[in-house]
Amino acid sequence: MKRIKMGCTTLSIPAMALGIMRMNQKSVPEAQVAIQAAYDAGINFIDSADIYGGGKSEEIFGQAFSQMQIKREEMFIQSKTGIVPGKCYDFSKEHILHSVDEILERMQLDYLDSLVLHRPDALMDPEEVAEAFDQLQAAGKVRFFGVSNFDTAQFKLLQSCLSQRLMFNQLQFSLKHTGMIDFGMHMNMVDKPSVDRDSQFLDYARLHKVTVQAWSPFQYGMFEGTFIDNDGFPKLNQELQKLADKYEVGKNAIAAAWILRHPANIQMLVGSMNPQHIRDSAKGAKIRLTRQEWYDLYLAAGNYLP
């Protein structure tokens, strides 16, 4: 598995992480198979969130992982907080501290390697978040911190009050969600791709050594479905299959390789619980697409160059 530097540190993490959003749909033995498949492929990074399955995903993970032979220190385990489903976003100190205690209990852990704030809270008080982070770090409950779906200004605002460096920002990115790179190639134009919807965060991340974590790498829309083997995307799947045949892997591996080819050293979150899909996706970390292959996929996905 390809390794990348984590944020501004010298620590290395795998270029892929296993997202456990759907682990609530699995039995404990099935969850163990998925975790083991990821680990055997070099994916020793787990991404979770307190709302996944209403907490059930973390409970299943905790039960499964506690019975496995993998040592805790061999895994990097991350969870997210801040969303109160259907009610509000909550970055209050009280909510963050309480949420972490519940996460640790569900996952049967003494500490998290990373805590990520899930979606921007319009009422965020950066100084209050800083107090929560300091308390969690001092208590040994969380080692590192990050955010998810933050724009550049929100990221900089929070960072200005923290004593820790933010390591991550989770953002949607895939062959069918390319806004972070579209606007740069359509600079100074008035067409739809020229609109910057991500506040140039990808460039900011490269300048300031922040690890972008790409979620929904095989999805189109907002959880509308996968574009892999989807009849609605014939040209893209034809191109994926052509390269899959060339590199002797599955389409998932090629779609993953497309993300990892970007020089920003993006970490991709694999959300599948299917062991075969996990193994195939992991193969993408060993493939370096040519520049033309990367652009061929970009164009096959329905994008165009000005």
> Within 10 Å of residue 182's Cβ, how many Cβ atoms?
20
Q: Is 133 exposed, middle or buried (0-12, 13-18, 19+ CB in 10 A)?
A: buried
Q: Which of 52, 204, 220, 298 is an active site residue? A: 52
Q: The tokens of 178 are what?
A: 């390319």
What's the DSSP call for residue 285?
G
What one-character-per-residue DSSP string does 53-113 give? Answer: GGGHHHHHHHHHHHTSSS-GGG-EEEEEE-EETTTEE---HHHHHHHHHHHHHHHT-S-EE
- Quote the radius of gyration of the chain (alpha carbons, Å): 19
Residue given tokens 């990821």 in the structure block: 38
- Using DSSP, state whether 38 is helix, strand or coil: helix
CA distance 188 to 200: 14
Beta-bridge mates of residue 145: 115, 166
What one-character-per-residue DSSP string does 175-202 give? Answer: TTB-HHHHHHHTTT--SGGG--SSTTHH
CA distance 122 to 227: 33
Does 52 qualify as catalytic in the annotation? yes
Beta-bridge mates of residue 212: 169
Q: What are phi and psi of 214, to 5 degrees?
A: -85, 115
Contact in structure between 122 and 129 (CB atoms under 8 Å)? no
Helix (H) or strand (E) holding 171: strand 166-172
- Active-site residue set: 52
